[in-house]
Amino acid sequence: MGLGLLNGSFGVNPIQSVEKFAGFTALNFLTLTLACTPLANLSGYKFLVSRRKALGNYAFLYASIHVFVFVFIDYGIDLGFLLADSLNKKFIWLGFAAYIMLAPLAFTSFRYWQVKLGKNWKKIHRLVYVIGITVPFHFLLASKGSLTTFSGNILLPVIYGGIITLLLILRWKPVKNFIQNFKPITGL
Amino acid sequence: MKTSFKNHIPSSEITPKNVYTARRAFMRSAGILAGTLALASCGVSEPLVTAEEKVLGDPGYSALTDERGDQVNQLSQITGYNNFYEFSTDKEEVANLAKIFPTTPWEITVNGLVNKPIKLSVDELIKKYPVEDHVYRLRCVEGWSMVIPWQGFSLANLLRDVEPTSAAKFVRFESVMDLGKMPGLANPLYPWPYQEGLRMDEALHPLTLLATGLYGGELPAQNGGGIRLVVPWKYGFKSIKSIVRIELISEQPATLWNLIAPNEYGFYANVNPSVDHPRWSQSTERKIGELSRKPTLMFNGYESDVASLYQGMDLKKYY
């Protein structure tokens, strides 16, 4: 990505391009992270579960680049400009909230914390469901369109919101049980 | 009225047209010669004038500044970063898609509440209304800006000739809808065609331009060729591209972005750092090519020219 900045492949407005690219990549990793468990349940490929940690940490890495570029490069740490432009914008609050929730999950993703936190570890890491709902709304409000009139550039955020909603529904006990009972018939 | 907006470009700074057209002709023949040598064995022939060549412009323009001293953007930035959703929502993909879009000949109809409706080609317009250089700041609602050397004429000249009736209160503009060459038009999430509007006094303001050229060259398709509107004190989306129809009407017209999100894009859309947008900063902007942001100016720096148009209006209500 740094190389891309140097050779001009991030285009005419490189700061905004990097912000968008890093944010979108973070969302993709977040979606993949949330897909692991339901796909493992459906397919029986249990190894998918062990990939969650790495994918989740990649989501955090790209989210960090996204936030870093916004605060330190886009606004050049000019707190006056940054606050004046941010405080009244819902999408920035949503993005900020998602990042604040994601950070502790990344920091406690290691075995040491998993053992140390015991039962609480799982509870804390359920925050990822909230993040999964928050981020598509952040994306939607940052996109040039409107859900009210269902027009403009809203297709991608709506699709990602839909995918994540589906992934969350697949974790819901009644749905999970229904699929489990269905499996012997279809031979899945 | 003040005339600070008039950009008197020293003639010494601009290459005379006959010089650069001659230079281009030379380059072209040199290119053909080199191309012939290189391609003789392959049997490939090249078109004599490519789309890029048409929009080359005059490099002399890159040294110009606006009246505040800000230098014009590079031609590659102006022609490579375009909000033109009829082609693509990706600003850096538009130029590529617009390559096959024909901008000549281009016809424009002016009708509605007028005594003398007309239909003219851009060539005829240029003969009738001599084009002049205008270096304007362009402030996009998305928080970026450029300084652009346009060639064009005041819309007022054209409007006076069609003789608007006393019932005409607004001017409505409509963009071309070329379904075959504009893939973005297939996107059903936009209420096509692109349409925009101005109040009569805004349309008659001498700053309001119909542009037919850029950087001393033709107006490239991605920048709104054959002919576009330039209203420098309003956000860029008001400056509608590739116009085929201008209609004088009695009611405030619907505009594309206002139909999509009325709470975000008002009819007036004057550049105003104190009226916020839910998404982008309106108090600061980044000039394309610069690293840091700078404060956005009231009416994009044209306050002394246009503030009188909005006297007594609550600009927070009429955003």
Does B267 fall in a domain? yes
- Bridge-based pairing state of the strands B144-154 and B284-287: parallel
Among chain B residues, the shortest Cα distance to A149 is held by B260
CA distance B295 to chain A (A): 9
pLDDT above 70: residue B93: yes
- Residue B4's pLDDT is 43
The 10s digit of each residue's pLDDT in B96-105 is 999 999 999 9
pLDDT above 90: residue A166: yes
Query: What is the C-alpha separation between A136 and A154, in angstroms, rounded?
Result: 11
A174: exposed, middle or buried (C-beta count within 10 Å: 0-12, 13-18, 19+)? Answer: exposed
Query: What is the C-alpha separation between B245 and B158, in angstroms, rounded?
Result: 13
Do you find a cis peptide bond into B226, omega within 30 degrees of 0?
Answer: yes
For helices A127-142 and A155-169, give the axis angle rounded to 10 degrees. Answer: 170
pLDDT above 90: residue B166: yes
Q: Is the pTM of this model over 0.90?
A: no
- Of A121-125, B37-41, B90-94, which gets the smallest average pLDDT? B37-41
Distances (CA, A) of B199 to B22, B196, B202, B210: 43, 11, 5, 16
Q: Tokens standing for B265?
A: 């894009």
Q: How many CB atoms lie within 10 A of CB A122?
A: 10
Does B309 fall in a domain? no
* A159 touching chain B per CB within 8 A: no
Query: Is residue A84 very low, low, confident or very high in pLDDT (cuts 50, 70, 90)?
Result: confident
- Of B27-31, B223-227, B271-275, which gets the smallest average pLDDT? B27-31
Does B169 fall in a domain? yes
* B261 touching chain A per CB within 8 A: yes
Report the SS3 class of residue B292: coil
- The percent of residues above 70 in pLDDT, for chain A, comes to 92
Between vectors from CA A80 to CA A79 and to CA A82, what angle results, nearest 5°?
60
Name chain A contacts of B89, Cβ cutoff 8 Å. 144, 153
What are the φ and ψ backbone dihedral angles of A143, each rounded to 5 degrees?
A: -95, 155
Q: What average pLDDT does the structure give for chain A?
A: 90
- Mean predicted confidence (pLDDT) in A75-91: 85
Name chain A contacts of B275, Cβ cutoff 8 Å. none
* B293 touching chain A per CB within 8 A: yes
Does B143 fall in a domain? yes
Q: In the sheet where B118-121 sits, what is the strand order?
A: B118-121, B107-112, B243-249, B170-175, B195-199
- Mean predicted confidence (pLDDT) in A63-88: 89
Return the closest-CA partner of residue B75 out of B104, B99, B54: B54
Query: What is the C-alpha separation between B153 and B220, in angstroms, rounded?
Result: 17
* A54 touching chain B per CB within 8 A: no
Query: What is the C-alpha separation between B17 and B57, in angstroms, rounded?
Result: 10
Q: What CATH number does the domain containing B82 carry?
A: 3.90.420.10
- Mean predicted confidence (pLDDT) in B122-144: 96
- Bridge-based pairing state of the strands B228-230 and B209-214: antiparallel
* B29 touching chain A per CB within 8 A: no
Query: Is residue B289 very low, low, confident or very high in pLDDT (cuts 50, 70, 90)?
Result: very high
Report the SS3 class of residue B16: coil
* H/E run at residue A21: helix A14-43
Nearest to B92 among A12, A78, A142 (CB): A12
Name residues 142-181 of chain B within 8 A of A (Cβ).
142, 144
Cross-chain Cβ contact A150/B189 below 8 Å: yes
Nearest to B261 among A73, A84, A149 (CB): A149
Cross-chain Cβ contact A145/B189 below 8 Å: yes
* B192 touching chain A per CB within 8 A: no
CA distance B292 to chain A (A): 7
The 10s digit of each residue's pLDDT in A57-68 is 999 999 999 999
DSSP code of residue B100: T
Query: What is the C-alpha separation between A46 and A177, in angstroms, rounded?
Result: 17
Among chain A residues, the shortest Cα distance to B76 is held by A12
What residue type is assigned to position B193 of the chain? P
- Residue B42's pLDDT is 42
Nearest to A142 among B261, B279, B284 (CB): B279
Nearest to A151 among B190, B276, B278 (CB): B190
Does B4 fall in a domain? no
**Beta carbons of B79 and B220 less than 8 angstroms apart:** yes
Sign of CA dihedral A149, A154, A159, A165: negative
Query: Is residue B112 very low, low, confident or very high in pLDDT (cuts 50, 70, 90)?
Result: very high
Cross-chain Cβ contact A149/B259 below 8 Å: yes
Cross-chain Cβ contact B279/A91 below 8 Å: yes
The 10s digit of each residue's pLDDT in A109-134 is 988 998 999 899 999 999 999 999 99
Cross-chain Cβ contact B260/A142 below 8 Å: no
- Residue A185's pLDDT is 59
For chains A and B, CB pairs below 8 A equal 74
Among chain B residues, the shortest Cα distance to A84 is held by B283
Does B85 fall in a domain? yes
- Residue A187's pLDDT is 52
Among chain B residues, the shortest Cα distance to A154 is held by B189
**Beta carbons of A37 and A171 less than 8 angstroms apart:** yes
* B93 touching chain A per CB within 8 A: no
Tell me, rounded to whole angstroms, the distance of Cα B36 from its chain centroid. 37
pLDDT above 50: residue B34: no
Domain of B37 in residue numbering reads as 11-304
Sequence-distant (≥ 6) Cβ neighbours of residue B104 within 8 angstroms: B122, B123, B218, B226
Tell me which long-range contacts A16-22 makes (C-beta under 8 A, separation of at least 24): A16/A74, A16/B144, A18/A65, A18/A69, A18/A73, A19/A66, A19/A69, A19/A70, A19/A74, A22/A62, A22/A63, A22/A65, A22/A66, A22/A69
Cross-chain Cβ contact A12/B279 below 8 Å: no
Q: Tokens standing for A69?
A: 């570029």
- Mean predicted confidence (pLDDT) in B50-65: 74
- Residue A44's pLDDT is 84
Q: What average pLDDT does the structure give for chain B?
A: 87
Cross-chain Cβ contact B189/A151 below 8 Å: yes
- Mean predicted confidence (pLDDT) in B144-173: 98
pLDDT above 90: residue B107: yes
The segment with the largest mean pLDDT, out of A140-144, B27-31, B106-110, is B106-110
Does B42 fall in a domain? yes
Q: Tokens standing for A7?
A: 């050779």
Does B6 fall in a domain? no
pLDDT above 50: residue A89: yes
Q: How many domains does chain B have?
A: 1
Name chain B contacts of A15, Cβ cutoff 8 Å. 286, 291
- Residue B314's pLDDT is 94
**Beta carbons of B164 and B146 less than 8 angstroms apart:** no
Name chain B contacts of A147, Cβ cutoff 8 Å. none
* A89 touching chain B per CB within 8 A: yes
**Beta carbons of B204 and B156 less than 8 angstroms apart:** yes
- The percent of residues above 90 in pLDDT, for chain B, comes to 78
Cross-chain Cβ contact B278/A90 below 8 Å: yes
